[in-house]
Amino acid sequence: MTDESMRAGRFWKRRGVPRRRNDVVISGMAAGGESFCVRRLFSEACSLICLFAVVCFALFYSREAGEFALSGMRLAVLAVIPSSFVSMLVCDLYRRVGYPERISFFGRLFSLLFGISRAGLRAFLLGNLCGFPMGAREAGEAYSEGLISREEAERLLPICTNPSPAFTVGVVGGMLGDFRVGVRLFFCVLSSAVICGAVFRKRGQSLSVPSVIVRQKYNLVQSVRGAGGACITLVSFISCFSVVLGFLKKYVGFLPLRYALFALLEVAGGVNFFINEAQLSPAASGALTALSLGFGGLSVMLQSAAFASDYGLRLRGYLPVKLLQGALSAALFLLLEIGV
């Protein structure tokens, strides 16, 4: 090993950056005697290019982007937050006051169906009753408390990240003008989550969890602060993706591509588009709405990733599970429409 490579190794060691076998090290006088990894340089170059593109976009299309962001904030404040804040507050209250980790019948059924420890039932219930992205946070909390394994938490993430009944029945059913359609949509999304959890079940999992009741010191201020912070994150993501959807609506003229992008990017904007602007038949509008609700969109995926990363979890297998769930939700809705 040459003196130059030894100095490069000591340089990266001081900065806590491990050297990898496949990294190519560049050294020279232009770098001031310091060494840089090609992988690091490429990442920084991509970040600079993206930053330059965003700055140019903001300069040339700032007015339109502001209008689209404002429409997203209006949608979030008027439709999403009223139904989500109370659900998030109840979710946090339930978690802090205490919950039984061994629910005899439902715990056994949950374990047999999904191959996940009974403690994961809390995340599944709260994620589907309180809405995304609370399921991701509850799965992370169960993992951090040692109640479920990392692999179980990562398998639990996609099936517990779903819209709440308050949003699906109250908001979406109100947009459709029939709350019974909202009930059918919630049934389709929940049923598709159960089917996906059973399909991707892994056998041979340890299903034994101590029969304990976990209680935390309850603090109303912390519950309100946690629910408010989650709502702010929700508004931020909806506003950001509303800008993207606004430009797609304006510049993408190919309707199938436009419908696919709206269904896969952001659930609130996509649902609003399919119901109020797309001028589709009730069956087609409902099926695309079910697809968007079941998949959740890239916005919800990024929110789940943000919550999961706080606990050291990754979204392994999240995308194929959610794509299957969205397709199953749309298919179930169409079957119910034909049956009705």
* Least confidently predicted of 88-102, 114-128, 190-204, 275-289: 88-102
**pLDDT greater at residue 38 or residue 225:** 225
Spatial contact of 34 and 12, defined as CB atoms under 8 Å apart: no
pLDDT band at 43 (very low <50, low <70, confident <90, very high): low
- Rounded mean pLDDT of 226-245? 81
- Rounded mean pLDDT of 230-241? 82
Q: Alpha carbon of 75 to those of 128, 249, 275: distances in Å?
A: 22, 16, 14
What DSSP assignment string belongs to 109-157?
HHHHHH---TTHHHHHHHHHHH-TTHHHHHHHHHHHTTSS-HHHHHHHH
Say whether pLDDT at 14 is over 80: no
Q: What pLDDT shows up at residue 324?
A: 93
Name the residue with tokens 């060691």.
13
Return the structure tokens found at 97. Answer: 């006051």
Beta-carbon contacts of 339 under 8 Å, excluding residues fewer than 6 positions away, are none
- Rounded mean pLDDT of 244-262? 79
- pLDDT (tens digit, 9 = 90+) per residue, 308-320? 888 888 888 899 9
174 residue type, one letter: G
pTM of the model: 0.72
| CA nearest to 120, candidates 75, 152, 95, 151 | 152
Say whether pLDDT at 24 is over 50: no
- pLDDT (tens digit, 9 = 90+) per residue, 266-289? 888 888 888 887 778 888 888 889
Please give the mean pLDDT across all residues of the chain: 76
* Least confidently predicted of 23-37, 119-133, 171-185: 23-37
